[in-house]
Amino acid sequence: MTVRTTGRWRGIVAVALFFVAVGVLTDRPAALLVGVVGAGLAVYPRLSRPPTVDLELDRRLGDKRPASGEPVTVTTRVTNTGDRTLADCRVVDGVPAMLSVASGSPRHAAVLGPGETTEFSYDVETEAGRHQFDPATVIARDITGAHEVETTVAAGTEIQCADAVPELPVREQPDGHAGRLVTDDGGSGIEFHSVREYRPGDPIGRIDSKRWARTGELTTVEFREERPTSVLLLVDARAPAYRAAADGRPNAVAHCLAGVEQLVSALSDTRDAVGLAAFGRELCFRPPGVGTDHEAALWQLLATHPAFDATPPGRVRAGDGGWDDERSDDLDRQATLLRKQLGSDTQVVVLSPLADERIVETVRTLSAAGHTTTVISPDVTAEESLGQRLARQERTMRLRALRGADIPVVDWDPETPLGTVLLDEGRRRWSA
């Protein structure tokens, strides 16, 4: 909660002083008296105190699981649970970053007496995926407007729209355990690989009994081993990544987060271990794991961790500590910390708009450290101005540099669902 003084009445002191001066200099009592009115109005903001904000928020959705592209009506009710009247209570609902408002306004102002409720509703266009509402931002001013309290009110609401990612194509990897990744190594599995001499300790079921019956020789059948992978989804949420194609369009981090949410849903249906990490306001890291508890923890993290905030840093937002500009060594520090914690057999899928050179270096370092790395890069560049064309060209160069370093990059145009893009890419490039 932030309490601010708006200082909007300060100029009235000047008006009061002006009239006093006029009255004295020209010997006009009436003008002097106007100074009294000026003074009275200058004191006005002193008569009120910053409001105490106790609010409850309740959000209702017209349809909790709509089809993609269908508008959903969101009705938000805000109740004043405090015992003071809020004379000027402004609410900006936390519409999920990926959803756009189709009609109505998610912003509302109301006068709220104790126990009173105000209600407003608007329609959002849905997109495939799971979308969580951010906490609503509330700005309450006192009646004079001299004090302003900014805070947030949360209500966990989410819209879930049919997921569009069928599966994440994982890359081949040197070693691991049984899972869906079919390798060229012999071991337990389904597909025949080779026959080799029996070694003590081989499972009885894998002994080739026919050959033993025929020749009395003990041999072991090897199958192509199938291994699960351990995937870390890494989101680039540093300040430079909050780029959008145009004003009012979702920024690249919002696209990345939507992508991560789809990938987490898709991966949790497999036996692959999924982890989550982000560079940004602070390093977020959750090592790969499996199971429902782990999955719940991932969703929790996506919803609440400051690094997974789709609002660009620097904008005024309650509870957002002074995180102004990224220090130059911050990314290196976070990347080093991440590499230290990361298991060596973990694949890394980086989601980044590739908005600067430093993330490219970081990805290459990760890859050089032995992590099988893939980059999914939402394309938020535009073509209108010279600067935008330059940025697009630079991004193309970065894509090329990464591909040159043997790191596959999925160039994702956010207009297309991520699943379609991945399927296309999988058909074209991945052998897994």
Return the residue of 191, 247, 325, 415 that touches other proteins, per CB under 8 A.
247
Task: Pick one of 1, 3, 33, 369: the residue that binds other proteins (CB under 8 A).
Answer: 33
CA–CA separation, 126 and 72 (whole Å): 7
Q: How many residues bind other proteins (CB under 8 A)?
A: 56
Which of residues 28 and 403 has its CB atom nearest to other proteins in the complex? 28
Q: Which distant-in-sequence residues (6+ apart) come within 8 Å of 200 by Cβ?
A: none
Residue 90 within binding range of other proteins, rule CB under 8 A: yes
Query: In this chain, which of 18, 198, 299, 430 binds other proteins, going by CB under 8 A?
Result: 18
Does 41 bind other proteins (CB under 8 A)? Our answer is: yes
| Residue of 1, 2, 4, 40 interacting with other proteins (CB under 8 A) | 40
- Nearest alpha-carbon partner for 180 in 269, 279, 98: 269
Name the minimum Å distance from CB 25 to other proteins.
9
Measured CA distances, 59 to 22, 151, 193, 362 (Å): 56, 17, 56, 41
Applying CB under 8 A, among 1, 2, 8, 357 the residue interacting with other proteins is: 8
Following DSSP, what letter does each residue of 162-211 receive, concatenated? Answer: ------PPPPP-S---SSSEEEEEEEEEEEEEEEEE--TT--GGGB-HHH
Q: Which of 1, 2, 3, 36 binds other proteins (CB under 8 A)?
A: 36
Look at residues 200, 218, 194, 223 and name the one whose alpha carbon lies nearest to residue 208.
218
Closest separation in Å from C-beta 20 to other proteins:
5
What's the min distance (Å) between Cβ of 48 and other proteins? 10
Q: Which amino acid is at 186?
A: G
Q: How far is the CB of 159 from other proteins (least distance, A)?
A: 20
Question: Per rule CB under 8 A, is residue 195 in the interface with other proteins?
Answer: no
Asked if 315 touches other proteins (CB under 8 A), the answer is no
Cβ at position 368, least distance to other proteins in Å: 45
- By CB under 8 A, is residue 318 in contact with other proteins? no
Give the Cα separation of 354 and 366 in Å (integer): 15
Q: How far is the CB of 93 from other proteins (least distance, A)?
A: 10
Residues 136 and 93: beta-carbon distance below 8 Å: yes
| Spatial separation of the C-alpha atoms in residues 148 and 135, rounded to whole Å | 19
Q: Which of 109, 318, 337, 432 touches other proteins (CB under 8 A)? A: 109
Q: Counting contacts by CB under 8 A, is residue 426 touching other proteins?
A: no
Nearer to other proteins, 43 or 195 (CB): 43
Alpha-carbon span 109 to 119, nearest angstrom: 10
Residue among 298, 282, 276, 176 at smallest CA distance from 239: 282
The position carrying tokens 């100074």 is: 35
Is 411:379 a contact under the CB 8 Å cutoff?
yes
The residue among 138 and 260 lying less far from other proteins, judged by its C-beta, is: 138
**In the complex with other proteins, which residue's Cβ is closer, 195 or 316?**
316
Binding mask 49-88 for other proteins (x = CB under 8 A): --------------------------------------xx
**Which residues have C-beta within 8 Å of that of residue 321, sequence separation ≥ 6?**
none
* Site for other proteins contains 38 (CB under 8 A): yes
Site for other proteins, residues 114 to 153, rule: CB under 8 A:
120, 139, 143-145
Q: Which residues contact 122 (CB under 8 A, 6 or more apart)?
A: 73, 74, 93, 101, 102, 103, 104, 105, 106
Residues found near other proteins in the complex (CB under 8 A): 6, 8-13, 15-20, 22-24, 26-44, 87-90, 92, 101, 103-105, 107-111, 120, 139, 143-145, 247-248
